Copies of this chain bind each other. A is one copy, B any other.
Amino acid sequence: MSPAHTSLDDLLNPKSIAIVGASDDKTRIGGRPVSHMIEQKFDGPVYPINPKRDRVQGLPAYPSLADIPGEIDFALIAVPAPLVADQVRMAGEKGAKTAMVFSSGFGEIGDDGMRMQEDLKRAGQEAGVRIIGPNCLGLFNSETRFYPTFSSTIDRATPVPGGISIASQSGAYGSHIYMASHSRGLGIRYWITTGNEADVNVAEVIKLLAEREDVHTIMAYAESIKDGDMLVDALETARDNRTPVIFMKVGRSAVGAAAASSHTASMAGEDAVYDAILRQYGAWRVKSTEEMLDVAYACRPRIYPAGRKLGLVTISGGAGVLMADAAEDYGLDVSPMPQGAQAELKSILPFASPSNPVDVTAQFFNDLSLIPRFTRMMLDSGGYDGLIGFWTSVAGSPHLGQPLLDYLTETMADYQDRLFLSVMLGPDEMCRKYDDAGFPNFEDPTRSIVAMAALMYFGEAFGKSARAVPALPAPADLGDGPLSEKGAKSVLAAAGLPMVEDRLATTAAEAEAIAAEIGGPLALKIASPDILHKTEVGGVKLGVVGGEEAGAAFTEIVASARAAMPTARIEGVILSPMIEGGVECILGARIDPVFGPVVLFGLGGVFTEVMKDVVFRRAPFGVDDAREMIERLKGVSVLKGARGQLPVDLDALAGAISNLSLFAAANGDRLESVEMNPLRALAKGCVALDALIEKKQES
């Protein structure tokens, strides 16, 4: 099922194109791409296919693909759904490498349509033709003026080539993003919508874009991902090539997810997992189109700061406070200037606030040279990775805007790895001058902070070489049928997960003897492969002290479980020492329908259940990544000794998390989920008090 290799050249740089269902009417779906290609002067033959006409919009038309003289590279198909598969086959015979299908009436209308979509996919595979769509709005390559799309936005806004490219599942929303980019003056090189994704999906498109040197920044929009591995590959490629991927994954909310799945007829997967994957592989997830455009715009200088230390220089104390607030929201480090440097700033300008934000006050208007002096000191002594200057409307003042720009240009030439953003209001021409000089600028200070945060995030992601992942263990022996708690514990113990000592008693007398041997307060739990929820059947007793009590508890537990589930196979009762202290955690793995084995970790109880404070990471990964995962918990301070407790053994915890990730990756094909709840993190080590493995249903 692996698709034939496709290069972006096949998709976006065909030499010749046939349009099946071409219309003479420029406003119709089959007419618009013909019109776009003529008006934009696409440099290559365009063959309209229309059995009823000799000419279409002035071009010679052909009754069918077979009638075209010679070969074609690309077929655009806009005929009713039932006719599409045949056209794909014919396109293959004419040498086409790609067929793009505008036609709707496939997967999006239900089962019948889905069957037709499967037929279409097969036809493509058999004919050696990659398919984009069906039900897609098209694509464009603004460099070669190749416009196989029926979007009318092309008429209203002729694309300007640039380093940004767009990959979108949604045609209409993809157009919206394009239009918004255009009206912001952002040049778009490639624009590709994937529609129903019978074959080529948005992840593969991102991969193809990430491989291109002429693509500097990728904006992606998706409602669901069909191929998780492909997306990971795409994001890794982008990261290796230092190409920022700005990702809008919608369907975060309950209503949104329902709407997305009714819209695309595909399973959305869990949003928290998407979120973790995008973060894990260095894509910046946005919630709004505006943020997407802002970040893409700020990427233009292609400076991705090495750290997240932000310096703020301002001519308004208030703006400084506002920006410091926003920087904290985004986890940026607004450390103060060193004391010595502050004193030096004060000696230059006694009324300045020299800390950070650095406030040069209205004195700025009298002496612009304060800016380069202060800026150099912030970069040299403060060591900030990025700076934001708040200039408000001064750029609109002819005697300030240009000199300030000259100062900035001269200064920042000496600090080519530091990003400088401006906040200013002014005439478009002046703002564009700053932009062209490598100083992206924003009207709104908060938006400049968000853009800075994104670029610092990219800098961090690009600087990180992918960490070595320990070798996977051999597949575990999971036995036949369901695994009991004891079975799950021994499988996980073998995988390097620390398990509480437990002993199986098959009679009350055995329980008595074991209890006497272990000593101290004990936990007793029913042992049965058929009983997953032990508490609910009265199958658990905690804090049992002494042999006699243990014997009695055994009898009670077995009787209660038998009464509740008469057909369950009961192996006996497990006895374990009670482990007190430390912090209760949850550690688990699940097999995500999109991304395969993912590990989840969180603090127990209310943290997980009420506060939803759980972090995910795609398996497998090593201990360093596990440590980062722990640090992402909002409640991480609890593990580090908040509330007067001892800090727990984070190394042990990270080891356990990583080991579970290796186990999950090695056995993912046979698992549904693994859960250790609770896993108790202790001052030294950690230990799972319970374990549950759900195996995949045999199919």
Contacts and interface: CB of A to CB of B under 8 A. Distances in A.
Residue with the highest number of chain B CB atoms closer than 10 Å, among A253, A356, A613, A642 = A253
Given A251-B321, A392-B172, A610-B638, A326 B446 contact: no
A498 B554 CA distance: 42
Interface string A253-271: 1111111101110000000
Interface string A634-649: 1101100011000000
A250 B325 contact: yes
A675 to B, nearest CB: 16
A318 B223 contact: yes
A425 interface: yes
A3 interface: no
A265 to B, nearest CB: 11
A413 interface: no
12 contacts: A152-B397, A156-B396, A156-B397, A169-B318, A170-B319, A172-B318, A183-B425, A253-B325, A256-B325, A287-B326, A289-B446, A610-B642
A175 B393 contact: yes
Interface stretch (A327-335, A481-489, A538-546, A688-696): A327-335
Given A173-B318, A317-B259, A287 B637 contact: no
A289 B326 CA distance: 12
A141 B324 CA distance: 32
A571 interface: no
Interface residues of A, number: 84
A664 to B, nearest CB: 27
A368 interface: no
A90 interface: no
Interface string A356-389: 1101001000000000000000000000000000
Residue with the highest number of chain B CB atoms closer than 10 Å, among A396, A610, A611, A635 = A610
A316 interface: yes
A35 to B, nearest CB: 15
Interface in A428-470: 443-447
Given A362-B172, A392-B176, A393-B175, A329 B259 contact: no
B316 A255 contact: no
A221 interface: yes
Interface in A277-312: 287-290
B263 A317 contact: yes
A643 B605 contact: yes
A259 B353 contact: yes
A611 B170 CA distance: 38
A251 B321 CA distance: 6
Interface of A: 109, 152-153, 156-157, 168-176, 179-180, 183, 221, 223, 248, 250-260, 262-264, 287-290, 315-322, 324-329, 334, 351, 353, 355-357, 359, 362, 392-393, 396-397, 425, 443-447, 603, 605-607, 609-611, 613, 634-635, 637-638, 642-643
Contacts of A290: 443-444, 446-447
Contacts of A152: 393, 397
A324 B256 contact: yes
Given A156-B393, A397-B152, A610-B637, A256 B322 contact: yes
A444 to B, nearest CB: 4
Overall SS of chain A's interface: helix
B288 A255 contact: no
Nearest to A336: B255
B259 A643 contact: no
Total copies of the chain:
2
Given A173-B322, A610-B638, 15 more contacts: A156-B397, A168-B318, A170-B316, A170-B318, A173-B319, A176-B319, A176-B425, A183-B425, A223-B321, A254-B328, A255-B356, A259-B321, A263-B320, A287-B325, A288-B444
Contacts of A396: 156
A223 B317 CA distance: 10
Residue with the highest number of chain B CB atoms closer than 10 Å, among A174, A250, A260 = A250
Contact of A611 (B318, B325, B634): B634
A260 B321 contact: yes
A316 B610 contact: no
Given A260-B321, A319-B172, A326 B606 contact: no
A551 to B, nearest CB: 25
B325 A173 contact: no
A183 B430 CA distance: 15
A606 B607 contact: yes
A103 B218 CA distance: 51
A693 B159 CA distance: 69
Contacts of A287: 325-326, 329, 446
Residue with the highest number of chain B CB atoms closer than 10 Å, among A153, A173, A318, A392 = A318
A446 B288 contact: yes
Contacts of A393: 152-153, 156-157, 175-176, 179
A328 B258 CA distance: 13
B170 A317 contact: yes
A397 B154 CA distance: 12
A609 B643 contact: yes
